[in-house]
Amino acid sequence: MAKTVLVTGAASGFGRGVALGLASRGHNVIAGCQIWPQVTELRNAAAAEGVGMQVIKLDVLSEIDRKNALEREIDVLFNNAGIMESGPMVEIPMSVFRSVFETNVFAALELAQGFARSMVKRGSGRIVWTSSVAGLVKVPFDGAYAASKHAVEGVCSAMHEELKPYGVEVLTVNPGAFRTGFNDTGMESMDQWWNQGERVVEHWPVRELDRQHDPAEMIQAIIDVIEAEKPAYRTIRPASAEEMVRKEQAAVWERHA
């Protein structure tokens, strides 16, 4: 059965792939993009593919945009918009750290709260959050992003139990490293401020991002979660990432100073 799905962060990456994929499968998709040029570009891309969907401006940090989005009645919120900022915890500017939480946690929660209220009143609905493998393990030099996704995990875990009695489902999808460009620019981001002050630790080693996976795998997994009647609470891809998470979480109990 066709669902009405709002996708945040639909201009690129997983959001774009999921929005176009769901629309091509007959769902009523509302694709949210951060800035107007992205709205125009995605509308044109959808038309070129012969896919019908509504594309709106939705900067999740904008109260005006959030209120505009919350006027719509939807079956599923795909809470996907996010940013990544890198840097060692002892050096990262607090303004940068706060910006990650503003987008990945606070703005996402405001949207989730707004739609959840409507869903509770009618007794049905699904909220799917893009978390990350980084929300489940340690990620040195990406601590701000990882911390925000750990926060997302805490929010979702609580919301899942709180809203379940009202017929509202809360689920997470946890991507590993995929070739969307998100990780590449996130790793580069610290260079914007690194030379603007004295540093007491070394710049992190340059890592070659040559083992990222085809995003089509994650996009299909997210579509499956949105469409499935009884999806798992957590969906991690690729399978190797799930194995790594399970091993690292077990190893934490043996960690020492």
Q: Where are the domains of the chain?
A: 4-194+206-254
What is the CA 233 to chain-centroid distance, rounded? 15
Confidence band for 91, pLDDT divided at 50, 70 and 90: very high
Confidence band for 69, pLDDT divided at 50, 70 and 90: very high
Where does 4-194+206-254 sit in CATH, by number? 3.40.50.720
Identify the pLDDT of residue 206.
77
| Six-digit token string for 34 | 């951060």
Across the strands, what pairs with 142?
87
Cβ–Cβ under 8 Å, residues 9 and 182: no
Q: What is the pLDDT of residues 111-153, one digit of tens each?
A: 999 999 999 999 999 999 999 999 999 999 999 999 999 999 9
Which of the residues are catalytic? 145
Identify the pLDDT of residue 31.
99
pTM, 2 dp: 0.96
| Concatenated DSSP letters of 170-196 | EEEEEE-SBSSSHHHHHHHGGGGTGGG
Identify the pLDDT of residue 212.
94
The alpha-helical segments, DSSP class H, found in 107-237 are 108-122, 143-163, 182-188, 215-227
The amino acid present at 167, given as its one-letter code, is G
Across the strands, what pairs with 87?
142
Among positive and negative, which fits the CA dihedral 162, 163, 166, 167? negative
Rounded CA separation 118/74 (Å): 9
